[in-house]
Chain A
């Protein structure tokens, strides 16, 4: 069974940092691109970042570029999102999502349960 379990969310002050982790199980992480998607309270979904199966291709939304870093450790079956210079508008539930098998971007076929990040003074 495919499972994605996020952790690391919490309350942080504006300008602060936080590191989110996604533990993957039930599939070979090294075969899939992985993404982070967020959802502000009461709002829609916003794609944040993508990392290819081997980590060689990385993409970011303009809203987080230069502040967030996505990374992965296939040997440890984990994906991370390092977030710096956090803003109030980064407050959201952050989901780890797996892309379907194939080259290039595909649909998100599995999602984690999400972890809440709250940026507030």
Chain B
């Protein structure tokens, strides 16, 4: 089973900051990783997949990159509405799995 380790688990930032969240997979995957944003009391929302482009309506300040087993979500200029918890998820193989989450506080 593929395990995903997200870092950091939380971060406190300011509007306009560049934010980077990393998801490390326990084995090599072929771009089969997605990112979700969840706000308190709400359902997760699909943001972006390494296998495709941004979901419709997702601002271009969100981008992804990968290097080996490390996958990175970058928010180029943090906006007030970007607070919440971010999760990575692999869909390379079953059992599907999520990272532990990164709480972004502003």
Q: List A residues at the B interface (Cβ < 8 Å).
A: 35, 37, 44-47, 50, 59-62, 95, 99-100, 104-114
By Cβ-Cβ distance, the 9 closest A-B pairs, closest first, are A107-B34, A105-B91, A47-B96, A111-B43, A45-B98, A59-B94, A44-B101, A107-B49, A109-B46
Q: List B residues at the A interface (Cβ < 8 Å).
A: 32, 34, 36, 38, 43-46, 49, 51-52, 55, 87, 89, 91-101
> Quick check: B98 and A46 within 8 Å, CB to CB?
yes
The prevalent SS among residues of A at the interface is strand
CB within 8 Å for A112 and B43 given contacts A45-B98, A107-B49: yes
Q: Determine the distance from Cα of A6 to Cα of B106 in the docked complex, in whole angstroms.
A: 32
Q: How far is the CB of B96 from chain A (nearest CB, A)?
A: 4
Q: Which residues of A contact B93 (CB under 8 A)?
A: 105
Chain A residue nearest to B6 in the complex (CB): A44
A-B contact pairs, 11 of them (CB 8 A): A44-B98, A44-B99, A44-B100, A45-B36, A46-B98, A59-B94, A60-B95, A61-B95, A95-B43, A105-B94, A107-B49
